[in-house]
Amino acid sequence: MHKIVLLGDSLGMPRPSENVFYENTYPYLLARKVSGCDVISRFSRARDTRLQSSEQQICDDILWLQPDMLVMHLGIVDCAPRLFKPIERRIISIVPPFMRNGVIHFFSKNRSFFTKHRNIVYVEKDEFARNVWRVCRAAQQTGSKVIILGIIMPPVSVLNRSYGFDDNVNEYNKILFNASKEFQFEFADVNKIISNDSDLCDDGIHLNKYGNELLASYLLEVIQNCF
């Protein structure tokens, strides 16, 4: 039986508040549709490439599982414009609620201004490229067939609130694409599969039921052509 490992952030996880339950996620749908394969989901909320490229995660998700196929769905956590640095988030989390809520409300209300002038992401481009390379190198060592899923471009409503989000998506996707070429992996431009107007949740980031179905169907076709 072929082993297929899907790894990534919360894009492959349920979002009950958006009516995306476990049975609606593309990992579940894919596991139900594909035959002769063991589909292993390795998703974690807010996972970025810094965590995924750590020695422990590479061992847990790739080297020890020895997948026949690896699907990598990462990048949005790394490149999304942020209002606060991680250390600032920790400080805000411990201040009294009335102060915390006031700060968050003020920054959120002026999100476009602050994302333009503070220019914060969780993982800078140079580090992102190094992290992706380490994950790809580990997959290459196992002889896995690898599909790198590109980052979905958020809809205009989201782009208008976070300055430079579209540029970030394009630049980080270019890094993913270049890695796929270097390692001779397949790069899937998810923006040709998913419509950012009708296939995403209200947050403009996560897949809704229809987006999950489309991505599951795409991956099923790829898998059937490989095995």
At 20 the three-state DSSP class reads: strand
At 189 the three-state DSSP class reads: coil
**Dist. CA 24–CA 29, nearest whole Å:** 7
CATH number at residue 130: 3.40.50.1110
Is 69 part of a structural domain of the chain? yes
**Dist. CA 221–CA 49, nearest whole Å:** 27
Is 139 part of a structural domain of the chain? yes
How many domains, the chain?
1
> What pLDDT is stored for residue 113 in this prediction?
96
Is 31 part of a structural domain of the chain? yes
> What pLDDT is stored for residue 142 in this prediction?
96
Is 89 part of a structural domain of the chain? no
> What pLDDT is stored for residue 35 in this prediction?
87
Is 108 part of a structural domain of the chain? no
Torsion of CA 193, 70, 184, 74, to 10 degrees: 60
Quote the distance between the C-alpha of residue 203 and its chain's center. 14
Residue 140: give the domain boundaries.
2-81+121-226
The structure tokens 């394009």 sit at 170
> pLDDT 10s digit of each residue in the chain, 227 long?
899 999 999 999 999 999 999 999 999 999 999 988 999 999 999 999 999 999 999 999 999 999 999 999 999 999 999 999 999 999 999 999 989 999 999 999 999 999 999 999 999 999 999 999 999 999 999 999 999 999 999 999 999 999 999 999 999 999 999 999 999 999 999 999 998 789 999 999 999 999 999 999 999 999 999 88
The structure tokens 């914060």 sit at 120
For residue 154, what is the DSSP state?
P
Looking at residue 17, its amino acid is S
Is 194 part of a structural domain of the chain? yes
**Residue in 218, 217, 146, 224 with CA at minimum distance from that of residue 186:** 146
> What pLDDT is stored for residue 106 in this prediction?
94
**Residue in 161, 76, 154 with CA at minimum distance from that of residue 121:** 76
Is 104 part of a structural domain of the chain? no
Is 107 part of a structural domain of the chain? no
